[in-house]
Amino acid sequence: MEASDILVVLAGLVLVVYGIFQLLRRYVFLKNRCTAQVDGNILETERNVKEHHDSDRPNTVTYYLKYHYLVDGVEYAKKRMVSKRQLKVIGKHDDFTVFYDPSKPKRHYVLELKFRMLFTLTLIAIGAILLYYTINDVPMI
């Protein structure tokens, strides 16, 4: 196995392990730990445009949502990058449900802010393809 093959195998492993970790974190760890719920409120939304003057690439737009929630009189605030669709969905509500871990209230998730499942599954698939083609010595197209 050549050095380039080893790098491809490592990249494939990293993608697969990272993707599986994200799935387990979201659907096993957070769902089991975050059993209490409170209302969260939107503090502000932000839209950033990164212009690419020196190339033919289109401008990049990113959206951020800053929200907060209260647990036992303590305020927790979070700023998260969200998709345009997520911003529209959650922006229609004045408040939303935050599920948090009673033993560590900073650990939380918002059901309305969907996990990027398609992105994670794509990473796992790319990693698996890299591993398959490298380990089985199949020439990539």
DSSP string computed for 19-85: HHHHHHIIIIIIHHH--EEEEEEEEEEEEEEE--TTSSPPPEEEEEEEEEEEETTEEEEEEEEE-HH
Q: Please, what is the average pLDDT of the chain? A: 83
Q: Please say if the pLDDT value at position 111 is more than 70.
A: yes
d(Cα 65, Cα 81) in Å, to the nearest integer?
6
Fill in the DSSP letter of residue 88.
Answer: H
Average pLDDT in the 25-37 region?
83
- pLDDT range class, residue 138, cuts 50, 70, 90: low
Rounded to two decimals, the pTM is 0.64
Burial 36-54 (b: 16+ CB within 10 A, else e): eebebebeeeeeeeeeeee
Q: Please say if the pLDDT value at position 14 is more than 60.
A: yes
How distant is the alpha carbon of residue 104 from its chain centre? 20
**Which range, 23-32, 54-63, 72-81, 107-116, has the best average confidence (pLDDT)?**
72-81
Hey, how many other C-beta atoms are within 10 angstroms of the C-beta on 2? 8
Q: Please report the pLDDT score of residue 39 as a whole number.
A: 93
Q: Please report the pLDDT score of residue 140 as a whole number.
A: 59
- Structure-model confidence comparison of residues 57 and 126, the more confident one: 126
